[in-house]
Structures are given as C-alpha cells and as structure tokens.
C-alpha cells in the first residue's frame, strides 16, 4: 500500500485513498459541501414478491444464497443488541459455508461477542470491517492484522455514508426482537426486546437486499413497524437473536468515585450557573457513570427549581424514564435504549420517541436534532489544550472504542466533557491527542476534578458564570498540575507507519488516521 497523504485542515496527515476509494481530507467544521445526489437502491416490483406477504425462508444460509451472496460483497447489521448479539457470527459462518470470500463487514458497531469473527478475518471470509470495533476486534486491527483499513464513523456519519453512496450495502441483516412474515419489524417487544432499530433504518432503506432475522414472529401486521416490510426481501426465524442481559450496557451504573461525583456535580452546577438549565431546556447525557450522575444531579435541581425540560435525548436509562414519568420532561428522543426500563418505556410511553441517525445526527440532511440540544455531556479518552478530543484510541495508541454519536453531539449549543484529569496515573490532558476525533472549536467546556475549564472561544459562557463562585480553571493549569503530580508527560504511543483505521468526520471527510501499535 503506497498511500498518498495530505495534511488536512486540522493539521493531520491523512491518506487520500482508503480501501481503494478516494477520500476528501477534513476541510474544517461546516466547510465541505457535498455534491451530487443520494444513493438510490434498485427499483423492485411486487410481481417478484409473494402476494400473501410471506417472505420466510428456512435459514440464514438459504437467505444469503437467495440474496446472491458472492465474493467482495458488503454485509451490514445494527448493534442494538450490543454485546448480546447472537446473529452475526452465524451469518459469517454461513457465508464461509457458502464459500464467499473477501466480504466487507459494515456493522454500526461490533462488540467482544464478535471475537469469533477474528477467525473469519483470518480465513479470508471477511476482508475488513468498517464500523466501530469495541474490544478484541479493535485490538486485532490495532496490531495491523486486518487486510483493509478499518473506517470509523459516527452514527450520523454512518447514515451519511450510506445515504451518499459512499458505502453501498449489498445485504443488510436486521436482527429483530419482533417481526411478521412480511418483514415489518420492531425492537420494543419480544423476548429479546432491545428498544428500537434505528441503526438499521438506513440499511433497510438503501441496501440492495434486506434479511430480517427474528425469534418472535407475530401475525401481520407487526406493530409498530420500526422497519418497513416493504424494504425487506427475506425473513428468517431463529430460536434466539439476542441475549437480553447483555443488551444492557455494563456502563449504565452511576459512578461511586468521589472524584467523578464531584465532576458530575460541577457539571450540573455549571449548566445551572450558565443559565442553560431553564424551563423548556434540553440535554443529552450518555450512559457512562459520570454522565448518569450528572443526570441525577440535574434532576434534583430541576425538581428544586420547578423546571421542566422540553426533551431529553437518549440513550435512555431508567433515570431518564423516571424523569419522563415524573413529568420532568415532555419527551425522550431516544436513539438507543441502554437498559430494560428504557425498552419498557419506549413501548409504553407516548412521550418516549423512537429516533434514528437520520433524525438525530445525519449531517447531510436539511438539519438534524443534534444542533438543537441545549447541553450535551460526553466523555473522551484525551483532550488537548485547544479542546480537541479523542474518543477512539488510548494514549498507548490502541483502538478500543467506537465514535458512536459523539461527533454528532458536538453540534449541541453547549458541549461539555466531564472527565477525570488522569486515569490510572495517565494524564488525560495532553499536548496532542493521539487521534483527533472532535475539533476543539466544537467543545465548549471541560470539567475535571480540578474545576471547570471553558473554551476561550466561548466568551459568552465565561461571562455568564463569572462571579458565580464556580471553580473556573484554565486547562493549561490542570495539565500542569497533573504532570507535576505524575512526574511528567505521558509516553507517546509506540506506533509504526502503517495505517490501520481511518477516522471520518460527520461529513465523510477524513479527520485522522490510526496507526498500527508496535
């Protein structure tokens, strides 16, 4: 691979070609203007589908064969089952049986449960993966063992890539907790209920062929139809498509660390002091322990001050559901349910709304929800003094996390990163982030155990909290104190010159590249 490189608008040297496709280097936030028209799937005819609506076939293998699986195709799936997915290993085993090779796997994310697919990468069934690689597959890629480059996209970026035709999907696999024989499918009910199927929506609309796999077949019509059967080719019944216990993310517990509780408390007090927390406001907080603690503190403030949110953006958890049911918010706009209370609420509460990366995050639409959120609370593995942040690699260079909705959320009116200033004696505030995932101009506030650091570009926020008694501290000072405590800067990652993954910005341009670790 004699890659050509170009230095992008963020000063990062990025390849001009990835997996054989020409790339546009990142040009700055809002600077790249797409051209052309959206992707267009083939026109079908009802004459080629059963009039009685029964699209069932006997097995995953049969469905793949009927879809015309062949070498080099792209197979996609959604990750609403997270680490409880029981389908995709079977899909690639069937692909191997059929003898297909060099497939591109295009999940919305992969998890440790997909570690067996390392065998399919090794035996040539899978060529490479484009999508988040959480855990073992990320490690595998980090070591330079994958043939192609990993391509990491945000949830919105994945929609954008499908919609814009950058990633044509040959066969989409949609594991569905409930479906009918026509292919209408929902995630909010059934023994493997995972809430919603929004990550599969683009796949269902744009893929050439769509296979719904379910363990809970119901009489037509499956209601709600989060996925339209009108986009589905085949339906396969399995005993079990997902493991409900593992659908629940392990990170959905509130932190017990005193430092992190202090960070969460400071974050809540900041949104109050800055006047963001007011009647009709909106916020998004992830499912991490600190973010959850923030949500709890904010809830208490809202109760005390008799403030009601217009909407809260999920990933939903029991805490958000309680706020909805208590009347502290009109709506939860949910992109993925993080626990079973979220699943129940989506099924039962009219104010708990099913969203998709199209409605929430797609940057190549006529607007999206992300920029209308008053405050968003996110994590990061590293930040630098210009507020640039990393969420995919650790300081040792290993690629261990996906982007998720993180990049998309940065467009919120106020983006706050409540993060510890160090982790396991490794500083989090660094001279230069190992991988640039979010440009500092979109990151407004960083809250550490040392206090609140506001991006100097947000003069308005600084003015609003001045004199409120909140501990404001320049990021430089936090960095210096951590380095003094630890005894110096972190070791730079030991990496080779070989690219192992490209990091896309929300508009499809390349913002950075990840190198193989030594």
Nearer to a copy of itself, 44 or 425 (CB): 44
d(CA 451, CA 286): 21
The CA radius of gyration of the chain, in Å to the nearest whole number, is: 23
Nearer to a copy of itself, 42 or 250 (CB): 42
Nearer to a copy of itself, 333 or 346 (CB): 333
Shortest spacing between CB 230 and a copy of itself, in angstroms: 4
Shortest spacing between CB 167 and a copy of itself, in angstroms: 14
Nearer to a copy of itself, 115 or 218 (CB): 218
Query: Are 333 and 416 spatial neighbours (Cβ–Cβ below 8 Å)?
Result: no
Shortest spacing between CB 41 and a copy of itself, in angstroms: 6
Nearer to a copy of itself, 134 or 412 (CB): 412
| Spatial CA neighbour of 174 closest among 213, 201, 229 | 213
Nearer to a copy of itself, 272 or 507 (CB): 507
Shortest spacing between CB 369 and a copy of itself, in angstroms: 8
Shortest spacing between CB 150 and a copy of itself, in angstroms: 25
Shortest spacing between CB 178 and a copy of itself, in angstroms: 15
Q: Is 28 helix (H, G, I), strand (E, B) or coil?
A: coil
From the number of C-beta atoms within 10 Å of its C-beta (0-12, 13-18, 19+), residue 125 rates as: buried
Shortest spacing between CB 353 and a copy of itself, in angstroms: 6
Shortest spacing between CB 415 and a copy of itself, in angstroms: 13
From the number of C-beta atoms within 10 Å of its C-beta (0-12, 13-18, 19+), residue 23 rates as: buried
Shortest spacing between CB 51 and a copy of itself, in angstroms: 4
Nearer to a copy of itself, 110 or 226 (CB): 226
Nearer to a copy of itself, 249 or 282 (CB): 282
| Spatial CA neighbour of 335 closest among 86, 75, 94, 109 | 109
d(CA 322, CA 344): 12
| Spatial CA neighbour of 401 closest among 376, 424, 378 | 378
Helix axes 318-325, 289-305, angle to 10 degrees: 20
Shortest spacing between CB 385 and a copy of itself, in angstroms: 26
Nearer to a copy of itself, 129 or 174 (CB): 174
Long-range contacts of 31-40 (CB under 8 A, 24+ apart): 32/507, 32/508, 32/509, 34/164, 34/364, 34/507, 34/508, 36/164, 36/165, 38/163, 38/164, 38/165, 39/162, 39/163, 39/164, 39/165, 39/168, 39/206
From the number of C-beta atoms within 10 Å of its C-beta (0-12, 13-18, 19+), residue 487 rates as: exposed
Nearer to a copy of itself, 15 or 357 (CB): 357
Q: How many CB atoms lie within 10 A of CB 350?
A: 6
Left if phi > 0, otherwise alpha if psi is -120 to 50, otherwise beta: which for 367? left
Shortest spacing between CB 309 and a copy of itself, in angstroms: 12
CB within 8 Å of 26: residues ≥ 6 apart: 8, 9, 10, 12, 14, 32, 505, 509, 510, 511, 512
d(CA 37, CA 42): 15
Question: C-alpha angle with apex 506: 365 to 356, nearest 5 degrees?
Answer: 55
Q: Which residues share a beta bridge with 105? A: 75, 129
Q: Give the interface with a copy of itself as residue ranges (CB under 8 A).
A: 30-53, 55, 163-164, 182-183, 210, 219-221, 223, 225, 228-233, 280, 310-311, 331, 333, 351, 353, 358-359, 362-369, 371-372, 411, 507
d(CA 331, CA 36): 36
Nearer to a copy of itself, 114 or 344 (CB): 344
Shortest spacing between CB 349 and a copy of itself, in angstroms: 12
Shortest spacing between CB 219 and a copy of itself, in angstroms: 6
| Spatial CA neighbour of 195 closest among 62, 354, 6 | 354
Nearer to a copy of itself, 27 or 101 (CB): 27
From the number of C-beta atoms within 10 Å of its C-beta (0-12, 13-18, 19+), residue 348 rates as: exposed
Nearer to a copy of itself, 90 or 231 (CB): 231
């Amino acid at each position: 691979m004699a890659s050509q490189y170009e230095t992008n608008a963020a000063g990062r040297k990025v390849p001009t070609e990835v997996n054989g496709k020409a790339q546009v280097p990142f040009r700055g936030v809002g600077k790249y203007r797409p051209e052309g028209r959206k992707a267009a799937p083939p026109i079908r005819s009802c004459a080629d589908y059963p009039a009685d609506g029964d699209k069932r076939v006997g097995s995953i293998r049969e469905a793949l064969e009927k879809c015309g699986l062949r070498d080099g195709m792209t197979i996609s799936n959604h990750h609403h089952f997270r680490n409880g997915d029981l389908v995709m290993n079977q899909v690639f085993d069937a692909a191997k049986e059929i003898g297909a090779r060099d497939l591109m796997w295009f999940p919305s994310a992969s998890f440790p449960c997909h570690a067996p697919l390392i065998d399919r990468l090794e035996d040539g069934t899978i060529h490479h993966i484009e999508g988040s690689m959480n855990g073992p597959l990320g490690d595998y890629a980090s070591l330079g063992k994958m043939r192609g480059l990993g391509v990491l996209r945000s949830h919105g970026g994945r929609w954008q890539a499908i919609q814009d035709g950058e990633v044509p999907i040959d066969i989409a696999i949609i594991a569905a907790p409930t479906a009918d024989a026509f292919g209408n499918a929902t995630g909010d009910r059934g023994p493997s209920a995972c809430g919603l199927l929004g990550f599969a929506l683009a796949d269902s609309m744009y893929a050439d062929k769509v296979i719904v796999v379910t363990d809970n077949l119901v009489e037509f019509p499956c209601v709600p139809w989060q996925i339209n059967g009108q986009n589905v080719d085949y339906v396969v019944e399995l005993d079990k498509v997902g493991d409900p216990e593992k659908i629940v993310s392990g990170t959905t517990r509130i932190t017990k660390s005193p430092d992190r509780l202090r960070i969460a408390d400071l974050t809540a007090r900041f949104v109050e002091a800055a006047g963001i927390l007011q009647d009709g406001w909106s916020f998004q907080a992830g499912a991490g322990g600190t973010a959850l603690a923030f949500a709890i503190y904010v809830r208490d403030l809202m109760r005390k001050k008799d403030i009601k949110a217009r909407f809260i953006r999920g990933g939903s958890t029991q805490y958000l559901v309680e706020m909805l049911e208590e009347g502290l918010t009109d709506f939860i706009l949910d992109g993925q349910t993080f626990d079973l209370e979220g699943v129940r609420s989506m099924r039962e509460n009219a104010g708990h709304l099913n969203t998709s990366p199209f409605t929430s995050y797609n940057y190549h639409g006529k607007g999206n929800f992300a920029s209308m959120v008053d405050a968003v609370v996110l994590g990061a593995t590293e930040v630098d003094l210009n507020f640039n942040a990393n969420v995919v690699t650790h300081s040792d260079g290993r690629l261990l996390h996906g982007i998720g909705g993180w990049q998309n959320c940065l467009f919120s009116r106020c983006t706050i990163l409540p993060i510890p200033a160090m982790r396991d004696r490794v500083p989090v505030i660094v001279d230069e982030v190992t991988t640039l995932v979010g440009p500092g101009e979109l990151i407004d506030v960083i809250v550490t155990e040392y206090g609140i650091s506001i991006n100097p570009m947000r003069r308005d926020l600084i003015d609003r909290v001045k004199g409120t008694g909140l501990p404001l501290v320049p990021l430089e000072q936090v960095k210096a104190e951590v380095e003094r405590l630890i005894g110096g800067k972190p070791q730079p990652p030991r990496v080779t010159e070989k690219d192992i993954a490209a990091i896309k910005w929300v508009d499809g341009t390349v913002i950075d590249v990840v190198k193989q670790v030594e």
